[in-house]
Amino acid sequence: MYLRLVIAYDGTDFSGFQKQPGKRTVQGELECLLNQLLGPGKVVGASRTDAGVHALGQVVVWTGSVPIPEQRVAMVLNRRLPSDVVVHEVRWVPTTFRPIRDAQAKYYSYCLWIANARPWPGRGRYVTVAEERLSWAILTEAAGIIRGRHDFMAFRSEGSSAKTTTRHVFQSRWVMEEKGRIWRYDIGADGFLYHMVRRLVGTMILCAKTRDLSLLYEGFNNPQGEKMGFVAPAKGLTLKRIDYDEKCWE
């Protein structure tokens, strides 16, 4: 059996999730601690979030042995992990479980700070400040266009290893929070391409500035063409949760 952990982290001071030589990463911190406490093993994550991206529901598996009771693992780890990483769920899964392959859906949110005043201390780590006036009506219309099954190649940055670029987006919406100071974009899909969410947000921002949706339509009508929009800053993005079929635990 493997141990599945659901973890949250503030990505501000990490160089992403995936281990990189000489850099501080979430996978590196967690794997190092687990090796110290439990012995040899590997940490495998479901999503390789970029530097600066946050997570509330990242899923990882630990492939090594666990010589302590399952119910004590989270407590033991949280006492020793740095303050920007927290383990909040632990359960056994079969060794056949693969966190990337078996994921059925992933959900992200992206937060824009719309207020004229600067974000208050602490909040600025998780929002991107909108520098210009944006049209709420255009943003909400754009979110509706994104829903459905599309080829998202024009919204993928170079460096992706994905074999196909068609994804089914079943949740795409903008929501106002904190009396309109924060505009939050929620998106859920059966999978995502490299920088897909941040490039979609960047495209929607450009559309909302110009009150013109043609850039978004162009990306879907000509997916083989040039890349659309821009890659929105990492700090506004949070991985919310990852869904699996319950059969994965059997």
Q: Count CB neighbours of 78 within 10 A.
A: 14
Q: How far is CA 79 from the centre of its chain?
A: 25
Q: Give which of 4, 246, 244 is closest to 106, Cα–Cα.
A: 244
Q: Which of 50, 84, 212, 243 is catalytic?
A: 50
Whether 50 is catalytic is: yes
Q: Give which of 84, 4, 75, 87 is closest to 44, Cα–Cα.
A: 4
Q: Is 95 exposed, middle or buried (0-12, 13-18, 19+ CB in 10 A)?
A: exposed
Q: Tell me whether strands 54-62 and 85-93 are parallel, antiparallel or unpaired.
A: unpaired
Tell me which residues are annotated as active site. 50
